[in-house]
């Protein structure tokens, strides 16, 4: 085959570092399967191909069959088209009643109806023409009756004209799917039965594709989208196919205008009725749709749960707050108690200390008597007694409780007036040393 050269102006990538291959080449994959096709045995390049491929060989009939076995076909064969039986009554139709005919039945494509493609309509038409052409019928000795053939032509004219087809499809009741009764949908086939209804209604939608009814597994968004779509349905359905014939110009103009106006009104009325009908239909489906209830329940459950959760949370918070308060109170009480206890303790101790020091003071003062008021031998004169007692009182005022206690202890250990006097004198000396008394301030002990 001829070789052609391709120019590629984009640069090749730089060889990545570390790339190696034996002799600088490595296979990675392999080509996808090829398709066997017939090349056309035409033109100079084919002749060159044939020369190469034949090599003076001769091929047989068997070779032909074998070679063609896997070849891709490019022509469709019409076989496999299902042909619908023709109703004998339909075959007797008059062409002038074309408005009343079921165009899809005439062409034998009632299983497709509004779903029929342009191609299917054309093929159906051809099938019917081959069968019903009046010239062929006449040639076979039949009648010259071309009525049904005219019906076929009319059906094709309508169905191949997008505008006329919509007008017919708008009133093609055979394509309607009646909504199921309530009891029918109770048996768990809501989706199947209503799905068909909506599929049929969807043919009128300007917006395509039309969302599907779905099934029990559809999620809330899908279901909502579905009903939203149907509640704002944009329909191309029109009703001029049902118009009353307008008399042609020759007749009375007023009459013509009258019929036209009547048609306009009737179209509008039918359109309104259809909108209402559809709305009711959607209402009915919605009312029966278990999913809606389920979603509501779920919603409610969800809402309830949220409410309960909220309440529980509040309760928990309240409880926590209460607990915290209690704890606080408890701690406060404890603290107070502790403080009280501490206060009480210190009071007691103070009291005890007070008592102890009172006792000690008594001991100290008593010791003065034991020391015969520092008078030596003999009864001490009253002045001596006063002076000694005053001096000892001075000492006591200079001492704290502990020192008093210590002094008491020393005094208890001292036997005899001199020893006692000595203890006092030592105490005085100490107080003088601490700067609390002046030398000679206490006459009785100097």
Nearer to other proteins, 6 or 174 (CB): 6
Distance CA 238, CA 381 (A): 148
Shortest separation between residue 51's beta carbon and other proteins, angstroms: 8
Of residues 24 and 439, the one with the C-beta less far from other proteins: 24
Q: Kindly state the smallest distance separating residue 139's Cβ from other proteins, in Å.
A: 4
Nearer to other proteins, 116 or 417 (CB): 116
Cα–Cα distance for residue pair 164/158, rounded to 1 Å: 5
Sign of CA dihedral 88, 91, 97, 100: positive
Q: How far is the CB of 314 from other proteins (least distance, A)?
A: 47
Contact 179, 281 (CB under 8 A): yes
Q: Name the minimum Å distance from CB 265 to other proteins.
A: 22
What is the C-alpha to C-alpha distance for residues 99 and 242, in angstroms, rounded to an integer?
8
Sequence-separated (6 or more) residues with CB below 8 Å from residue 107: 121, 124, 125, 128, 152, 155, 156, 159
Report d(CA 396, CA 408) in Å as an integer: 11
User: Between 253-288 and 220-231, two packed helices, what is the crossing angle to 10 degrees?
Assistant: 160
Nearer to other proteins, 180 or 202 (CB): 202
Residue closer to other proteins, measured from CB, 26 or 415: 26
Comparing CA positions, the residue from 115, 141, 419, 235 lying closest to residue 124 is 115
Min separation Cβ 160 and other proteins, Å: 7
Strand ranges for 162-273 from DSSP E: none
Smallest distance, Å, CB 104 to other proteins? 17
Q: Which is nearer to other proteins, 68 or 297 (CB)?
A: 68
């Amino acid at each position: 085959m001829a070789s052609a050269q391709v120019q590629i102006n984009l640069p090749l990538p730089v060889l990545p570092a570390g790339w190696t291959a034996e002799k600088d080449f490595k296979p990675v994959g392999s080509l996808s399967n090829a398709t066997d096709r017939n090349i056309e045995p035409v033109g100079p390049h084919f002749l060159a191909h044939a020369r190469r491929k034949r090599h003076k060989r001769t091929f047989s009939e068997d070779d032909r069959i074998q070679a063609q076995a896997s070849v891709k076909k490019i022509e469709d064969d019409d076989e496999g088209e299902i042909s619908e039986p023709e109703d004998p009554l339909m075959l007797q139709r008059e062409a002038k009643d074309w408005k009343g005919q079921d165009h899809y039945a005439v062409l034998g494509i009632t299983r497709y109806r509004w779903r029929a493609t342009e191609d299917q309509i054309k093929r159906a038409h051809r099938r019917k023409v081959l069968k019903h052409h009046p010239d062929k019928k006449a040639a076979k000795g039949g009648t010259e009756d071309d009525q049904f053939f005219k019906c076929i032509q009319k059906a094709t004219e309508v169905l191949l004209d997008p505008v006329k087809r919509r007008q017919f499809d708008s009133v093609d009741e055979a394509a309607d799917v009646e909504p199921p009764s309530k009891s029918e949908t109770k048996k768990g086939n809501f989706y199947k039965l209503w799905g068909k209804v909506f599929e049929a209604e969807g043919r009128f939608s300007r917006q395509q594709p039309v969302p599907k009814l779905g099934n029990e597994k559809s999620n809330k968004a899908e279901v909502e989208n579905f009903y939203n779509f149907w509640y704002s349905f944009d329909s191309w359905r029109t009703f001029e196919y049902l118009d009353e014939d307008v008399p042609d110009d020759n007749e009375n103009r007023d009459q013509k205008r009258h019929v036209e106006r009547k048609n306009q009104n009737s179209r509008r009325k039918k359109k309104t009725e259809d909108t209402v009908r559809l709305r009711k239909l959607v209402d009915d489906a919605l009312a029966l749709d278990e999913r809606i209830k389920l979603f509501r329940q779920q919603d409610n459950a969800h809402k309830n749960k949220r409410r309960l959760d909220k309440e529980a949370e509040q309760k928990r918070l309240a409880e926590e707050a209460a607990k915290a308060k209690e704890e606080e109170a408890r701690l406060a009480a404890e603290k107070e108690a502790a403080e009280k206890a501490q206060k009480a303790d210190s009071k007691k101790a103070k009291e005890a200390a007070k008592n102890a020091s009172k006792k000690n003071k008594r001991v100290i003062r008593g010791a003065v008597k034991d020391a015969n008021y520092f008078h030596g031998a003999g009864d001490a004169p009253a002045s001596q007694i006063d002076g000694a007692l005053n001096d000892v009182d001075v000492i006591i005022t200079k001492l704290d409780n502990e020192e008093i206690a210590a002094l008491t202890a020393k005094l208890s250990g001292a036997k005899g007036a001199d020893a006692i006097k000595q203890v006092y004198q030592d105490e005085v000396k100490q107080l003088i040393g601490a700067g609390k008394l002046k030398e000679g301030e206490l006459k009785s002990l100097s």
